[in-house]
Amino acid sequence: MRKIAEVCAPPIPPAWSPDGSTLALCAYTDYEHAYEWNDVHVITIRADGSGAKRVWTRSLDRLCQIYMATDIKPFGAAHSPPLWSPDGRRIYFLASDRGNGRLYSVTLPEGEISPLTHGAEVILDFHGRPDTGRFALLIADPDDPGDIFTCAVDPARGTLVEEKRRLTTMNQTHLEGIAIGRTEEVTLPSFDGTPIHGFVLYPPDFDRTKKYPLILEMHGGPHILSGNIFFHEYHVLSGAGFIVATFNHRGSQGYGEDFAAAIARDWGRIDYQDLMACVDRLCERPYVDEERLGVAGGSYGGYMTMWIVTQTDRFKAAVSFRAVSNLYSVAGTADMGFDNAREYGAQPWEDREHLFRMSPISHVQNVTTPILIVQAEEDLRCPIEQAEQFYFAL
Amino acid, single-letter form, for residue 179: A
Average pLDDT, integer, range 18-42: 77
Phi, psi of 376 (to 5 degrees): -90, 135
* Confidence at residue 379, expressed as pLDDT on a 0 to 100 scale: 86
> What CA–CA distance (Å, rounded) separates 229 from 201?
11
Q: How confident is the model at residue 36 (pLDDT cuts 50, 70, 90)?
A: low
* Confidence at residue 220, expressed as pLDDT on a 0 to 100 scale: 92
- Does the pLDDT value for residue 37 go beyond 60? no
Min mean pLDDT across 250-259, 333-342, 346-355 is at: 333-342
* Confidence at residue 38, expressed as pLDDT on a 0 to 100 scale: 59
> How many Cβ atoms sit within 10 Å of the Cβ of residue 130?
20
Min mean pLDDT across 140-154, 326-340, 349-363 is at: 326-340
* Confidence at residue 106, expressed as pLDDT on a 0 to 100 scale: 95
Min mean pLDDT across 50-59, 60-69, 277-286 is at: 50-59
Query: 3-state DSSP: the chain helix, strand, coil percent, rounded to 5?
Result: 25, 30, 45
* Confidence at residue 33, expressed as pLDDT on a 0 to 100 scale: 59
User: Own/partner pairs for 331-339, CB < 8 Å, 24+ apart?
Assistant: 331/355, 333/383, 333/385, 333/386, 334/380, 334/381, 334/382, 334/383, 335/380, 335/381, 336/381
Q: How confident is the model at residue 63 (pLDDT cuts 50, 70, 90)?
A: confident
* Confidence at residue 51, expressed as pLDDT on a 0 to 100 scale: 74
> What CA–CA distance (Å, rounded) separates 128 from 388?
48
> What CA–CA distance (Å, rounded) separates 365 from 384?
21
> What CA–CA distance (Å, rounded) separates 309 from 242?
20
Per domain, the residue ranges of the chain are 15-141+144-170, 183-393
> What CA–CA distance (Å, rounded) separates 126 from 139?
9
Min mean pLDDT across 17-21, 294-298, 305-309 is at: 17-21
- What is the average pLDDT value for the chain, to the nearest integer? 92
> What CA–CA distance (Å, rounded) separates 362 from 69?
28
| CATH code of the domain occupying 15-141+144-170 | 2.120.10.30
> What CA–CA distance (Å, rounded) separates 134 from 27?
26
- Does the pLDDT value for residue 4 go beyond 80? no
- Does the pLDDT value for residue 39 go beyond 90? no
**pLDDT tens-digit map of 220-238:** 989 999 999 999 999 999 9
For the CA atoms of 71, 116, 60, 30, what is the dihedral angle to 10 degrees?
Answer: 60
Tell me, which fold does domain 183-393 have in CATH? Rossmann fold (3.40.50)
Q: Which pTM value belongs to this model?
A: 0.94
Q: How confident is the model at residue 65 (pLDDT cuts 50, 70, 90)?
A: confident
